[in-house]
Homo-oligomer: A and B are copies of this chain.
């Protein structure tokens, strides 16, 4: 039977720029902003997070810093400047700032007033190949570690951009029913196949949501959603290969109509199996870099130039399929036009939690203090 969503509560979880409610909520948590491997010592880059631009640089000490986008003098983008020790010097007139944003030099001023100049800075942490930063108003909370990712095995780190609201992808992660459709095997036939569609139950937990999907053979797959924007699923190895993986994904808004996923996976392999895994990945990468990107393929599909069903097997095909399904909802879907069903219970629960927390934040009420157990267990029924 149809589930009626209540339009009464119009709390906006989509817009995350400065001054928005959802933006304020997300800023209470550490967020990944860049891959460690892509930030070279002595270099600076511009980044955009939740509709705000910042400068990210890696000092000579190896530490990563996030400071304001523009020099306080006359506004030039700091990321085009020089990194000197652990400071950054503006490209235009050489004003230099340390990693706290304190101006420490104004070379052209005979009477320097650097001590009066301080730009914004955000604390950072590097962890397992991602650079995290904290953008909130209050003191940064303790940094959360993930025991699931600190086990023995190989670590994979990656990132991709998707051209739709982060919330489309949060809902996609909660929603196991799409898998048999969006990610049908390439041998999927279109005539009357019995899809193995899971029966979904979901419940709120101390850390977010636990999702259970019971399949036809009775096996139950458990995945976890950690508030505010993290998905933890168990990834199965490619057919016949070794390597179950614990896969965590953070969905971080770039702006209201696009977001980056930052992904860390711990793969249960070692020794020779690990070498074989790395070799397989290296070969896949050799092939992928010669192809149009996953984002480019999704754009062609949505424009009607090619069919997603005609795309030859490639190692990122699942990602292309997700781009298509979620960008295909529209960058910001019209949720007033939806017709939800019982199988959407997890999505309904997700929105209820978000609306409750944002409502409390708006009224100055108590927010739920999310707590996670030492270790979560995700399973895969396959």
A interface residues (Cβ-Cβ under 8 A, vs B): 1-2, 43-47, 70, 72-77, 79-80, 82-84, 89-94, 106-111, 113, 116-117, 171, 177-178, 180-182, 190-191, 195, 197, 199, 301-304, 307-309, 321, 324-325, 328-330, 333-334, 337-344
Contacts and interface: CB of A to CB of B under 8 A. Distances in A.
Contact of A339 (B44, B73, B91, B301): B73
A181 B43 CA distance: 17
Given A80-B328, A113-B2, A343-B109, A75 B181 contact: no
Given A77-B328, A338-B75, A177 B46 contact: no
Most buried by B among A107, A180, A321: A107
B181 A91 contact: yes
Given A109-B341, A117-B339, A304-B46, A328 B74 contact: no
A90 B302 contact: no
Contacts of A109: 341-343
Contact of A342 (B1, B110, B309): B110
A117 B1 CA distance: 11
Given A1-B113, A328-B80, A333 B91 contact: no
- Closest 4 A-B residue pairs measured CB to CB? A108-B343, A77-B328, A108-B177, A45-B304
Given A46-B303, A46-B304, 4 more contacts: A46-B302, A76-B329, A80-B325, A91-B181
Contacts of A93: 177-178, 181, 343
